[in-house]
Structure 1
Amino acid sequence: MKAAFLAAVIAAALPATVNAQDTGAASDTATAPDGTPAFGIEPYIGVMGGYDSYDRRSEFGSPRGGKMNGGLIQGVAGVNIPLGPVFVGAEGNVAKGFSDIDWEYGVKGRLGARAGDSGMVYASAGYEWVNGRRAYADHSDWIYGVGVEVGPKDIGLGGVTGNSGVRLRLEVDTYDFDSIRPMAGVIMHF
């Protein structure tokens, strides 16, 4: 099941990688779709919010038949390494939970394609630690996800923010295929 999901994520990302490639004439200086250098290092930070809901059959199920869930406020920091129209990266996160979740923190790698003026489409995989409250014990396991980042020009707001490096991120993660974790937030690239 895990291998099939990961294969589907990679297969979904490949067409975006092919379509994101520049079809124009080659130049002496390679650039990405947004006009930035095609190779380098792009650090970023961000704040996101969302909700994490675990299956009743997961390790976070309670003896009474309940399930762990709750809202999250999360901080992220990472670095992308552009490789022409594609990128690889690493990211760390810390999330404060509400309701049944106390804290979540983890690391993950990202692989994706740069698209549009400043957008990105990616798949991620890593390791997450989850601290539960009340009757829920602490656990850790693999986390997988997909996401998209769009810049101001991609959504028609180029004149509002200029070249500030602000992007809107939408992503969905799953903790060992036992949860669904939709998140949205603002990422600042440097």
Structure 2
Amino acid sequence: MKKLVFISLVAAGAIALPAAAQAQSTDSNKPEVTIGAQVGRHNLGIDLGDLDADNGEFDDLNIKDTGTIYGGFAAVDFPLGENLFAGVEGNASLGDGPIEAEYGVSGRLGFRTEGGAKIYARGGYQWVDLDIENLTGVSEDFLDDNGISTPDVGGDYLVGVGVEVPVSKVVLRANVDTIAFDTLRGTVGVGIKF
């Protein structure tokens, strides 16, 4: 169902692209709001290599630490002169594999090219809701029956870089982020400027 919703959003963006291709004048001093959909891959960076090097006790534990995420974002950017801008962005995604959901907020600081493309760095905080059973291959019933408590939501600081390319009111974008330099998260998306 999540994939169907995302595909529908992307298709709607693709249909709207030709209609939005007519250039419209904008006031460069006004905040720019962008809302859109995104899809990506998130590698959680879990490595048991150091733990099982000596005795091999984790050899049977099957860690699946990469999942696909589907979600949305909203950003507001404020001009800081002719080419610089600062803004804030929020995101929320559902996932598959080891990721049930993730959500966060970040600040953005970047440069706008003469053609309107934005290149930026961002920093903020990101929470990840894990599917422990899918991540480890160990059933939640087994963990509960044996009194093993495993936290399934974690969060830490996020840093990353991104680029947005406008086509009138439609924005195509790509981001690469890390959470605490432990994970690697790449997303692509399409949004509409207001």
1:144 — aligned with what? 159
| CA shift for structure 1 position 138 | 1.4
Unaligned runs of 5+ in 1: 1-33, 153-162
1:24 — aligned with what? none
* Correspondence list, 1:1-190, <5 A: 36-57=26-47, 64=61, 66-83=63-80, 84-135=82-133, 137-152=152-167, 163=168, 165-190=169-194
Q: Kindly indicate whether the alpha-carbon contact (under 8 Å) linking 2:117 and 2:164 is maintained by their aligned counterparts in 1.
A: yes
Cα deviation code 1:63-92 (max 9, x no counterpart): 636252200012001211012211000011
- Distance in structure 2 (CA, Å) of the matches to 1:173 and 1:67: 20
Unaligned runs of 5+ in 2: 1-23, 52-57, 136-151
Equivalent residue of 1:151, what SS?
A: strand
Q: Kindly indicate whether the alpha-carbon contact (under 8 Å) linking 2:64 and 2:97 is maintained by their aligned counterparts in 1.
A: no
Equivalent residue of 1:181, what SS?
A: strand
TM-score where L is the length of structure 1: 0.69
Higher-Rg structure is: 2
**How many aligned residue pairs are there?**
143
Let me know the Cα RMSD of the aligned residues: 2.1
- Distance in structure 2 (CA, Å) of the matches to 1:129 and 1:81: 26
Q: Percent identity?
A: 37
Cα deviation code 1:48-107 (max 9, x no counterpart): 10100011249xx9x636252200012001211012211000011100001110000000
TM-score where L is the length of structure 2: 0.68
Q: Which amino acid aligns with 2:170?
A: V
| CA shift for structure 1 position 35 | 6.4
- Distance in structure 2 (CA, Å) of the matches to 1:141 and 1:129: 7
1:7 — aligned with what? none
Cα deviation code 1:156-181 (max 9, x no counterpart): xxxxxxx3x11110110111111111
